[in-house]
Amino acid sequence: MEPLKYDENNQVVLPQPDEIPDKDKMDASGAYVMMFASSYLPLPLINLLAAFIYHMAYRKRSRFVAFHTYQSFVSQIPTSLSLWGLVTWIIIDAIKHSYDPWEIFSSFNLKAAIVIIVGWNLIYTIFSIAAMVRSRKGRLFYLPLFGKHTFERYFGPNAINNGPQNSTPFINRPPHKD
């Protein structure tokens, strides 16, 4: 992984889209393609393992790639656990009550859980697609709940808000410090 770049005030300067190689942009967006596809797998812990392996394989390529692969991995943890919980609950409920496999789906609690999980996955998919598109363009994209933590891990909490003073606008910026 490349070292951080600093300005004259010893603050971290973020890489800009025109400075990021196309290979790095493709690798970063690949993390989100996997994130999008894996949210609908029937075995939710496999997608978490796949995201971890992808992150470990590509994290040393560049800070930009490491940022996106780590953010993809960390954001999959709650989704994988919630899907795993739903699958486990269905299996335990079916065994406990000796339901006919189709009777399981008539339970109100199960229907409510499925609606919640489907809604969560829909939101997750929308953010996955947005992150994939932005990373393919060489932009940093901060997922809610995970973006600030990931940014601080790979670029530090004191990265500057303004880029080099030239005619091009500074596109990649740190997350809002709310």
Give the pLDDT confidence of 29-65 residue by residue, as tens digits: 999 887 666 556 556 677 788 889 999 999 999 999 9
Residue 101 pLDDT:
61
pLDDT band, residue 8 (cuts 50/70/90): confident
Q: Where are the domains of the chain?
A: 27-154
The answer to whether 156 touches 12, Cβ cutoff 8 Å, is yes
Find which of 22-31, 99-108, 110-119 is predicted with most confidence, using mean pLDDT. Answer: 22-31
Euclidean distance between CA atoms 19 and 40, whole angstroms: 34
Question: pLDDT tens for residues 139-161?
Answer: 999 999 899 999 999 998 766 55
Tokens 């363009």, residue located: 137
